[in-house]
Structure 1
Amino acid sequence: MSVITCPACNAYLGLAAAGAAECPRCSAPLPTAQPPANKKAWAARRAAKRAECNERNNDPVGEPPSAERDVVVGGLWLCGGLAVTAISYSVAEEQGGGRFILAWGAILFGGAQFLRGLVKMSS
């Protein structure tokens, strides 16, 4: 991926200008990317670059997260959701009742991921 800069004003445009025909700052025309002449060769080069990047990062393609990671991340989400719920409930109770936040999404997501990690660890 190349850095997109305006040839006229040298402004960094980032990925937001990936499909733009002109610079949003100075309205100068931007160079367009030429489609590859041979799509199979382009796809092969792209696959080779991805494989090289994955080898460099020691990140096997398609490997699911480890069981320990699921337990830790799930536990953090679960505890965070319970903490937000408990704190908001105690604040509402101090004020004589009222509304509080029940962080049920974080609690369910964290609990499910935590249990999934435990099941992975046991098998």
Structure 2
Amino acid sequence: MLRLFFFEVFKLFRLRSVGLGLLSAFLLPFLWALAPGLKEVYGLVLASGWQVVALSLLAGMEFLFPFLVVMAASESLGSEVAQGTLKSLLLRPLSRTQLLLAKLLAVLLYPFVLLG
């Protein structure tokens, strides 16, 4: 089961949407530092660089991170179907529950990597 989990994590982080999501999560604090109208929207003036990280996490957790996780999960299963590897995975001596659990745990690891 652990080997299947690491295999799914490896496949997940090779996907294009995951790479784009990690890049956007990396660039988000830099974009927030240049964002106009922070005082009008959030009612504060940036006094420290740590506020930029907190604001980017606040905005990211509301919309961006859930969207990126759903996009990665759908591409994870969609790439299996498109490449034709889903049939071979289902023919292995693993139960479908173990296969879905490994995929689910790999996708649930992704938001923590985004936050990191």
Give the structure-2-normalised TM-score: 0.31
Query: Bigger radius of gyration, 1 or 2?
Result: 1
Structure with larger RCO (C-alpha < 8 A, sep 6+): 2
Structure number with the higher helix fraction is 2
Report the TM-score when normalising by structure 1: 0.30
